[in-house]
Structure 1
Amino acid sequence: MRDKLNQFMQGRYGNDDLNRFLMKIILAAFVLSLFTGRIVFGGIVSLSRIFYWIALALLIYCYIRMFSRNIYKRSEENRWFLNKTSNMRGFWSNRKYNAQQMKNYHIYKCPGCGQKIRIPRGKGKIEVRCPKCRTTFIKRS
């Protein structure tokens, strides 16, 4: 079965970051359609139906992108998405990196120039020398 799926997907675009993002939106829209059952929007259509149709349309679009043989166009769409979301993704990856660093290191600012200096935890009271301006100061690690 796996071989048949691999043969079918050969030459097709497959999954990428844009599709994963759209799948999260689809899931959120389906969940919203479940919880907004009786709310009427515009006097005619219920809000749950709007979320349901949005999710269904996005799901169809995801499958069209996934099974497409126009790999160049799909990769351009994904590149556009990655360019538009690069600031947000960079912000969260910096937060994650800083949280990992805080487990093993203290991060201090130099009183002279403001340079951030990473000091290992658990070394007691140490004298720190700034690599940028050569100012020395004492901190607990």
Structure 2
Amino acid sequence: MKNNPLNRLQKWMMGRNGGDQLSLALLILSLLLSIVSGILDLPIIIYISYIPFVLAVYRIFSKKVDKRRLENYKFMMKVSPIYSFYHKRKTTLKDRKTHKYFKCPNCKQGLRVPKGKGKINITCSKCGTKFIKQS
């Protein structure tokens, strides 16, 4: 069991950053740039695609874990509004047959009510405003 290659790799990676969301995003960017380079037949783009690839590999094998975590945290703080927007849209599309969505006229809070209940009195959970809508 001592000569198992996976054990050696695991031992070698101990104390290193490993893969995280920023590294994955850099690898995807590198892949997309190389695909675009192949489609447009522009060799300069393939050289540019090496930059995010090298950065991703550096981040994965880096032993400066605290710095890499901070970089990943800052990246996630920039990306989270985009992720949140698409997640809300996905949920809205998924629930469109059973629920209807309204915005509070006072505070613009999103509210979800069941469909098919006729005219209902909706109370905003954030500000307490009451309004009547057709569900």
Q: When the two structures are superposed, what TM-score results if normalisation uses the length of structure 1?
A: 0.73
Q: How much has 1:107 moved relative to structure 2?
A: 2.2
Tell whether the 8 Å contact from 1:13 to 1:67 is kept in structure 2 after alignment: yes
Structure 2 gaps, min length 5: none
Please point out which of 86, 107, 118 is paired with 2:112. 118
Q: In 2, Cα distance between the equivalents of 1:34 and 1:28?
A: 10
Instruction: Determine the structure 1 residue equivalent to 2:98.
Output: 104
- 1:73 paired to 2:67: yes
Q: How much has 1:89 moved relative to structure 2?
A: 2.4
Alpha-carbon RMSD? 2.5
SS at match of 1:85: helix
- Give the length in aligned residue pairs: 126
- 1:88 paired to 2:92: no
Q: When the two structures are superposed, what TM-score results if normalisation uses the length of structure 2?
A: 0.75
- Over the matched positions of the two proteins, sequence identity in percent amounts to 27
- 1:128 paired to 2:120: yes
Please point out which of 28, 34, 37 is paired with 1:33. 37
Pairing 1:32-71 to 2, within 5 Å after superposition: 32-37=36-41, 48-71=42-65
Query: Which deviations, in whole Å up to 9, do the C-alpha atoms of 1:52-88 show, x marking residues without a partner?
Result: 1111222111111100010011111112212222332
Structure 1 gaps, min length 5: 38-47
Q: How much has 1:117 moved relative to structure 2?
A: 4.2
Q: In 2, Cα distance between the equivalents of 1:60 and 1:4?
A: 23
Which segment drifts farther, 1-10 or 19-28?
Answer: 1-10
